[in-house]
Amino acid sequence: MQLIIVESPSKAKTIEKYLGGKYKVDASGGHVRDLPEKRLGVNVAKNFEPNYVVSAEKKAVIKRLREKSAKADKIYLATDPDREGEAISWHLQEVLGLQGKAQRIEFNEISERAVREALKNPREINMNLVDSQQARRVLDRLVGYKLSPLLCKRIQSGLSAGRVQSVALRILVDREREIRAFIPSEYWNLSVSLKGKGAQFRAMLSERDGKKYKPSGGEEAARVLAEIENKPFTVSDVKRSVTSSRALPPFTTSTMQQDASSKLNISSPLCMQIAQHLYEGIETAEGHLALVTYIRTDSVRVSAEAQAAARKFIGEKYGADFVPEKPNFFKSRKTAQDAHEAIRPIDVTMTPEKVRPLLDRNHYNLYKLIYERFIASQMADVRYDSVQIAVDADRYTFRTSGKTVLFKGYTAVYDDYRLNETEEDSETVKVIPKVEKGEVLSLQGVEKEQKFTKPPVRFTDASLVRVMEEKGIGRPSTYATIISVLSKRKYTVKDGKSLVPTDVAFTITDMLVKYFPDIMDVSFTANMEDKLDGIESGGDWHGIIAEFYPPFLEQLNVASTDGDELTDIPCDKCGAPMIRKSGRYGKFLACSRYPDCSNIKSENEEVSDVPCDKCGAMMVVKSGRYGKFLACPNYPACNNVKPLDEEKTDEKCEKCGGDMVVKKGKYGKYLQCVSCKATRSMAEKAGVCPLCGHPTQKMTSRSGKTFYGCSDYPTCSFMSWDMPLGENCPKCGSYLVLAKDGRTKKCSSKECDYVLKAPKAGETKKDGGKN
């Protein structure tokens, strides 16, 4: 048996369908080990070595794979063909103990041909790719785990920061500030209707004295019209030409997300999720079917086989004229890794129409977009008959232009400039009448329209991905994740397609820019991306982290201690001077010997007249998330705490004989439905009762319940919702309590029905029986 280990179960099904027989295919479900969730997991003192751990949910997977590996004659690690996939293969090799036994294979598409070809060319794991992934993981962990607690401490809890995420957020915040600071300027569009020997047409005022010009007000526009009213309109220039437009290259990860957003209204995270399904394979009547090549790529390269298949298909379906004389080749961006092909259909004969019954709407639309973009990329240019006309009237120049399609070329399949638009609505069918240079035209009419300059537009998923790619921030595999994190953290909200930063996004950005200018600098982040990419060629990843970390740690220290002030107040525990610090709840005092001494206290700590029940020290008033309370000043030697507003009663505890005190629940106010008594948080004001459906206005505000507890808590945990009376029930011997009406005695035992109701003023008490 030969074992192939992939990442996803869907991919495993597809590959096993192709191979079968002696091959068994299993899935790791992504990473089998990673840095720990709740601690740093990076040994800063020992060359930043990561400490990988196996999560609980992965132990069963590892056990299963280890058992299968032991029975296999050959083992192939076939995780995704990128550095993340290379790292997953390395982790599998380490955890399963496959050194010297397993080999690495990779394929750009999940087709039988590609998989069998990969099996013929196994290789060792590329540790340069692994190190590149490790460097990113460690760097992102150091930045995220150091910055996030700082934000929680100084701004509010629940915040996070990231090496690339925070720079992307700054881009959004900076644009929003530009929009808010924008002051619109008035201008006017002037157009004229002109007629010569041919048909009438319109031209727009564009220049005055040879320079670009638009009237800036209504009066100025009126003066221009008055100046040209009786002037001759002479054709000063006519340019006719046959122009061509070349097809766009097939999709990269970035351009696919941009088109999916702008044309299909699919967000970047959803686009990548759908694309992953198309890559891994979908369930059909004939089994799993994979439709597109690997979807995380920044290359526009296409294999010779795929190119030949596309040209043959185009010739058969559209005709020889639509097949370019030479195959179309495209140049990738300078920063592209070019490790994989562009995103394309695996089989051009699997047309969108053929697979439509197999796909839901979103999967079909994205596959159609990928398919048509690829086919169009291999088609002939579109050709236009273009004309540009300039008409002079005194010192003013009016211009118009138009074009008609001579040959559709690639637009027969994919037109990047029109979406759901008929040709009759398109500018490309606008026909300009024939005019000659020097010809004098007659003025048929004028129009003027007031306009105002518009502020910069907000970023959408598509435009943010585009600018991140242009600036070298992040990589194809991270664009969608970054946008998703910003949304989940409530740093952005959607206004239609637009990404709008929330108030907390401005606070976070300002703080990080102030204390961490390098991390928040776009060029610094792009340069770091290049350094991390360079590790793939054999660079030292430890050195890159070692160069980055000390300055970052210094900035972190400044940000953490900014506003701190050394005082002459001695520490209650060790005598060292206390430092006045600022936190999100205000100023407080902390020992200067931290972490050797972790004493902290309020600067204006109020000493109460209540002695500590445990050590006798006078308790102090402190503030917590549920309000003020009493705490022993000898903490941590004595950790006694008690409510500030405890009220002693004359009653004694039924268990230990201690004093009973009145207490209040810690949960403060809440909403309670007046119909079914269901409760919910005060913050949940919108909607209806979760149980009975009554609207919110039917819910009433309640405070935390009052109850009675022993003053010796936690030594004695006795409590009662009703006040104990220090009397025993005559029927069962349990203690009696006073009901909420203040005059009814009842037994505290649920099994006993004894009730004694005191008469109101003027009533006569009845004897005997149950009252």
Residues carrying an active site annotation: 294
- Residue 559 is inside which H or E element, if any? helix 541-561
**φ, ψ (nearest 5 deg) of residue 141:** -65, -45
On whether the CB atoms of residues 327 and 378 are closer than 8 A, the answer is yes
Q: How far apart are CA 256 and CA 466, in angstroms?
A: 11
Cα 685 from chain centre:
27
Q: How far is Cα 251 from Cα 295, in angstroms, rounded to an integer?
A: 9
| CA gap 100, 116 in Å, rounded | 22
Vertex 202: Cα angle to 196 and 203 (nearest 5)? 100
Q: In which element (H, E) is residue 467 found?
A: helix 461-471
Structure tokens at 20: 């079968």
> Within 10 Å of residue 224's Cβ, how many Cβ atoms?
22
Between CA 48 and CA 758 the distance in angstroms is 76
DSSP letters of 126-169? -HHHHHHHHHHHHHHHHHHHHHHHHHHHHT-TT----TTHHHHH
User: CA nearest 13: which of 274, 286, 272?
Assistant: 286
Whose tokens are 């597109």? That residue is: 292
DSSP SS3 for 553: helix
Closest CA to 161 of 443, 507, 451: 507
Tell me how far apart the alpha carbons of residues 633 and 572 are, in angstroms, rounded to a whole number.
Answer: 9
C-alpha 345/C-alpha 111 separation (Å) is 11
Tokens at 518, concatenated: 């390098």
- Rounded distance, CA 165 to CA 478, Å? 10
In 3-state terms, what secondary structure has residue 491?
coil
| SS3 per-residue string spanning 366-429 | HHHHHHHHHHHHCCCCEEEEEEEEEEEECCEEEEEEEEEEEECHHHHCCCCCCCCCCHHHCHHH
| Residue from 602, 604, 567, 608 nearest 585 by CA | 602
The Cβ of residue 144 has, within 10 Å, a number of other Cβ atoms equal to 17
From CA 532, how far away is CA 164, in angstroms rounded?
13
Give Cα 326 distance to the centre of its chain: 43
**∠ Cα 275 278 282 (to 5°):** 140
**Residue 115 phi, psi (nearest 5):** -65, -45
Place of tokens 């030969």: 2
Residue 312, C-beta contacts closer than 8 angstroms, at least 6 positions apart: none
| Burial (Cβ within 10 Å: 0-12, 13-18, ≥19) of residue 722 | middle
Q: Which residue type, as a one-letter code, is found at position 202?
A: R
CB atoms within 10 A of CB 382: 22
Instruction: Give the largest CA-CA distance in the chain.
Output: 123
Distance CA 758, CA 746 (A): 11
